[in-house]
């Protein structure tokens, strides 16, 4: 194991620390050594709360007041059984205990599945860091960093571990998360002379901070809990995860329903005591067990676990579509999105800058083909450009742009990819199409670079020309207006002529024509240098240039983006484009994709700055395209949209986009081009940077929310059926013949039967509905307002109606079998109760199909969910077993039914489906 550096590495020389840690400042660690250290030192992670043992998780399923009631019921049943002499097995106590344990196991399994799904998502969104290993630059999970690793830092990176800087170029790091300092700190690898506060240790970078500017390299000195962030990890360990709004509402519904049902159960128990002959302790226990069982069965205590599983599985499904949702709560918000604010480049477009036109002194040429695959040609009036002045000028423009560039073009396994700036790569691709690439590579050798900056708006390189006696030439590429100011001549064919006013006017007109066609413009110029000029490679060389020509570049829109925009608009979602590009370019792409109407206007960053908050709210209401917008403007746009009551999804990729992403209801980071800081701030990550993926995720989010409503509708209506059956069975006991059907206490359902219904018909079908394919066209309706309740009045009305029909069918089944009721039957109480019990179970299974939609017929898309059919078939098989198998008959108080009786029960149970179908038909016609 490598030794640890002494305290405060900022006071020691970086080379000394590298030697002590066995690190190589050029090649980094070897892969084998890094693996050995990771094995020895452990992962670079903050200590999480210790895992809860499985037995504790299982016992946690029993921490419910209603379960406590059941356990009390078990104790009471055992006491009564003992007082009776313990002649027969304590059937009631055993059945209740088995059902309690079964429910606990089911809840544990559901919780474990949810935890596994969330853990898988965390692995997908894990941060990565750039390191040098085996002499190669690699990107590895930050959790695999070890002491001695050579970190490579760039703008947008999240610092993966505490590290001592080796080199830095304009490196600034935001350390607010650690030190509270709001301003980014300028870093310097120089050794400090004295011990200073954490925020002043400029030679160090810290785990959990973010690079906002510049580049650097640093040796990792501490990982995991040994980092400065690890020193405050105890606060993180105490932090509790907050419930989502959806979870809070469902918990509220459960509490309210539980309170209501306990009151109803108390009324039922009181009514039974008042109207029945309760002559013994056993009778009293039976009545109390009925009340407790009714309360337990009516409250969907499994809702939180089912909700977590459904959300987690839905989010995993979204991840397969390349939309990685970091927080389960975001799924709910995603379905409510009313505005999507999207970047242009890479999201709505291919992010493959393509030169479309070249204009020079001798005319204009068209370049065919799009993307980075160098297939296409340079054409003059629809024929390939070969020879002549225009050809010679185009060679200088395209090869010159390729020289004044740091991009590279590679072919790997038949696929062309780039490294570097996409705009610079466009010159390389066009140069290949012209056939000038190989000659240019042999002819020129780079001597020095005057780099591009946003202030200079240009880049120059000094090249040695091997075909002209190794003379030096300065090649400059940049914005046309900037270059023209520094040019005194213009290239015409093979010659250079004076750049007079007429030439300037023509060049400006050519640039304007390209801009009018929404093309991004870059110009190329050059001049020969004297031998002694190469000694000062700076911008002072950029004068007396020879202007060559201008290219028009476009980032082609994605073919699927237009379809996605149309789908979003169909769903009532506004799509806004926010880009730093030119307004004309933005409007062309926006119009092509259907984001803006023809003739629409774009709002620029400068115009945004001149608007007060009230004026901005009015502007965002009518404007769909924002151009020349800086990242800080995005935050104002988000705030203005939210002030208008919108639920905003915002995309971003740069460090400065992070505040807007945090402020948006759904911050969406680019997975390919996005920085680590942006991914950290976002709630969702696009693995493919594609706008169509956002719309697909919205559809998936709406589908998940619909499925949550499905199983809520199912659980609540089914449980309501149980409550109403027992309540009206007791109240109407004389009417349906129950009162005289037996001695002592006579109730429509036994406590064990109610608990069986709760076990068989709740979790399985509800979970199956959680993965139900889309029943309704979720994109054919407007976004759901966030203030709208998950369980609204309409759903409650449906729940009560279905519950009432279930109760009616169940009590009718009992009445048809009992003598002395509305219908004079000929069977004993046990057979009648078995028929009612079976009818209620089958009615709830019929309700599975009915609950899949508030409006759509249950017979539409009937066979698209095999899991639901599996849950229904299993429920039927279990009910047949409890009715027909002798040992279960004794436990649950049932008798075997004839085929005719089974068919009668099924027919009565199907009333739930037919009444709901009629209600849906009337609702559709009324609309």
What residues are annotated to the active site?
343
Residue 667, helix vs strand vs coil: strand
Residue 692, helix vs strand vs coil: helix
C-beta separation of 910 from 839 below 8 A: no
**Distance between CA atoms of residues 784 and 332, nearest Å:** 10
**Distance between CA atoms of residues 926 and 710, nearest Å:** 22
Assign 3-state DSSP to the chain and report helix, strand, coil percentages, each to 5: 50, 15, 30
The torsion angles phi and psi of 737, rounded to 5 degrees, stand at 90, 10
**Distance between CA atoms of residues 254 and 779, nearest Å:** 30
**Distance between CA atoms of residues 576 and 859, nearest Å:** 39
Q: Which two tokens stand for residue 770?
A: 């959680």
Q: Which two tokens stand for residue 375?
A: 């297939």
Q: Which two tokens stand for residue 110?
A: 């559901």
Burial pattern 587-624, b for ≥16 Cβ within 10 A else e, equals bbbbbbbbbbeeeeebbbbebbeebeeeebbebbeebb
**Distance between CA atoms of residues 567 and 748, nearest Å:** 52
Pairing of strands 128-133, 495-498: unpaired
**Distance between CA atoms of residues 885 and 458, nearest Å:** 86
Nearest Cα neighbor of 170 from 130, 114, 211 is 211
Q: Which two tokens stand for residue 505?
A: 């006017």
Pairing of strands 545-554, 648-652: unpaired
Tell me which DSSP letter residue 219 carries: E
Intra-chain end-to-end CA distance of the chain, in Å: 74
Q: Which residues share a beta bridge with 93?
A: none
> How many residues are present in the chain?
927
> Which residue matches tokens 């840690």?
21
E strands along 555-644, which residues?
Answer: 574-578, 603-604, 625-627
65: left (phi over 0), alpha (psi -120 to 50) or beta: alpha
Q: Rounded to the nearest 10 degrees, how much is the dihedral formed by the CA atoms of 346, 349, 353, 359? A: -150
Which residues, in sequence order, are CB contacts of 664 under 8 Å at separation 6+? 341, 638, 648, 649, 650
- What is the CA angle 354-355-359, rounded to 5? 170
Nearest Cα neighbor of 263 from 745, 727, 725, 840 is 727
Q: Is the dihedral of CA 755, 758, 764, 765 positive or negative?
A: positive
Tell me which DSSP letter residue 380 carries: E
Pairing of strands 684-686, 666-670: parallel
**Distance between CA atoms of residues 429 and 435, nearest Å:** 10
C-beta separation of 154 from 130 below 8 A: yes
What DSSP string describes 690-721? -HHHHHHHHHHHHHHHHHHHHHHHHHHHHHHH
Which residues, in sequence order, are CB contacts of 98 under 8 Å at separation 6+? none
**Distance between CA atoms of residues 639 and 650, nearest Å:** 11
Residue 412: CB atoms within 10 A of its CB come to 7
C-beta separation of 486 from 362 below 8 A: no
């Amino acid at each position: 194991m490598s030794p640890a550096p002494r305290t405060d590495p900022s006071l020691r020389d970086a080379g000394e620390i590298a030697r002590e840690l066995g690190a190589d400042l050029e090649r980094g660690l070897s892969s084998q050594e890094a693996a050995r250290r990771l094995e020895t030192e452990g992962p670079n992670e903050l200590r999480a709360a210790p895992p809860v043992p499985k037995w504790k998780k299982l016992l946690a399923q029993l921490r419910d007041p209603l379960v406590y009631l059941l356990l009390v019921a078990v104790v009471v049943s055992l006491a009564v059984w003992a007082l009776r002499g313990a002649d027969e097995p304590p059937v009631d106590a055993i059945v209740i205990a088995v059902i309690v344990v079964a429910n606990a196991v089911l809840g544990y399994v559901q919780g474990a599945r949810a935890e596994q799904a969330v853990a898988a998502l965390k692995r997908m969104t894990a941060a990565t860091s750039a390191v040098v290993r085996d002499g190669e630059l690699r990107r590895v999970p930050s959790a695999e960093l070890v002491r001695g690793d050579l970190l490579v830092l760039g703008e947008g990176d999240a610092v993966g571990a505490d590290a001592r800087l080796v080199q830095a170029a304009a490196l600034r790091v935001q350390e607010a998360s650690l030190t509270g300092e709001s301003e980014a700190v300028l870093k310097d690898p120089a050794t400090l002379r004295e011990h200073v506060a954490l925020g002043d240790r400029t030679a160090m970078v810290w785990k959990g901070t973010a690079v906002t500017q510049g580049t650097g390299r640093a040796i990792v000195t501490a990982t995991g809990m040994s980092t400065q962030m690890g020193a405050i990890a105890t606060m993180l360990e105490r932090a509790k995860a907050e419930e989502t709004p959806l979870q809070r509402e469902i918990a509220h519904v459960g509490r309210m329903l539980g309170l209501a049902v306990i009151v109803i159960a108390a009324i039922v128990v009181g009514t039974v005591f008042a109207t029945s002959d309760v002559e013994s302790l056993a009778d009293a226990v039976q009545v109390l067990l009925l009340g407790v069982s009714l309360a337990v069965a009516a409250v969907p205590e499994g809702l939180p676990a089912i909700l977590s599983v459904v959300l987690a599985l839905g989010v995993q499904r979204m991840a397969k579509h390349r939309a990685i949702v970091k927080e389960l709560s975001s799924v709910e918000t995603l379905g409510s999105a009313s505005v999507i604010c999207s970047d242009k480049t890479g999201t709505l477009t291919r992010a493959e800058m393509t030169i479309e036109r070249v204009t020079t002194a001798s005319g204009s040429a068209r370049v065919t083909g799009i993307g980075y695959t160098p297939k296409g040609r340079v054409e003059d009036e629809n024929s390939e450009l070969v020879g002549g002045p225009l050809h010679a000028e185009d060679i200088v423009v395209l090869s010159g742009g390729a020289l004044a560039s740091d991009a590279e073009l590679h072919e790997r396994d038949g696929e062309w990819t780039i490294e570097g700036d996409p705009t610079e790569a466009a010159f390389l691709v066009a140069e290949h199409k012209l056939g000038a690439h190989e000659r240019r590579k042999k002819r020129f050798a780079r001597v020095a670079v005057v780099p591009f900056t946003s202030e200079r708006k240009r880049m120059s390189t000094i090249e040695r020309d091997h075909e002209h006696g190794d003379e030096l030439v300065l090649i400059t590429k940049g914005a046309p207006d900037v270059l023209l100011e520094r040019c005194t001549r213009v290239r015409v064919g093979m010659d250079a002529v004076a750049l007079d006013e007429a030439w300037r006017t023509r060049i400006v007109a050519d640039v304007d024509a390209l801009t009018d066609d929404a093309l991004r413009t870059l110009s190329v110029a050059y001049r020969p240098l004297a031998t002694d000029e190469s000694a000062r490679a700076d911008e002072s060389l950029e004068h007396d240039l020879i202007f060559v020509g201008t290219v028009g570049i476009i980032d082609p829109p994605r073919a699927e983006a237009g379809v996605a925009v149309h789908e979003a608009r169909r769903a009532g979602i506004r799509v806004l484009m926010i880009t730093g590009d030119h307004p004309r370019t933005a409007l062309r792409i926006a119009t092509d994709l259907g984001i803006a109407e023809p003739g629409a206007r774009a709002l620029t960053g400068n115009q945004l700055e001149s608007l007060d908050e009230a004026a901005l709210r009015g502007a965002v209401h009518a404007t769909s395209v924002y151009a020349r917008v800086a990242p800080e403007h995005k935050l104002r746009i988000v705030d203005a949209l939210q002030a208008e009551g919108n639920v905003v999804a915002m995309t971003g990729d740069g460090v400065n986009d992070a505040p807007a992403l945090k402020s948006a209801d759904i911050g969406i980071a680019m997975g390919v081009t996005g920085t680590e800081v942006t991914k950290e701030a976002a709630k969702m990550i696009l693995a493919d940077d594609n706008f169509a993926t956002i719309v697909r995720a919205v559809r998936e989010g709406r589908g998940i929310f619909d499925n949550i409503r499905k199983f809520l509708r199912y659980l609540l209506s089914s449980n309501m059926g149980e409550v109403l059956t027992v309540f009206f069975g007791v109240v109407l006991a004389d009417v349906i013949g129950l009162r005289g059907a037996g001695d002592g206490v006579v109730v429509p359902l036994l406590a064990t039967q109610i608990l069986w219904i709760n076990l068989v018909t709740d979790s399985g079908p509800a979970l199956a509905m959680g993965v139900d394919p889309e029943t309704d066209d979720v994109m054919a309706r407007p976004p759901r307002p966030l203030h709208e309740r998950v369980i609204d009045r309409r759903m409650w009305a449906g729940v009560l109606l279905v519950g009432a029909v279930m109760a009616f069918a169940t009590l009718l089944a009992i009445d048809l079998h009992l003598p002395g009721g509305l219908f004079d039957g000929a069977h004993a109480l046990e057979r009648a109760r078995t028929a009612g019990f079976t009818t209620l179970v089958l009615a709830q299974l019929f309700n599975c199909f009915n609950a899949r939609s508030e409006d759509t017929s249950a017979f539409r898309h009937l066979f698209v969910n095999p899991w639901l059919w599996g849950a229904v078939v299993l429920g039927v098989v279990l009910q047949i077993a409890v009715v027909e198998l002798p040992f279960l008959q004794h436990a649950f108080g049932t008798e075997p039914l004839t085929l005719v009786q089974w068919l009668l029960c099924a027919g009565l149970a199907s009333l739930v489906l037919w009444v709901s179908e009629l209600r849906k038909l009337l609702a559709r016609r009324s609309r």
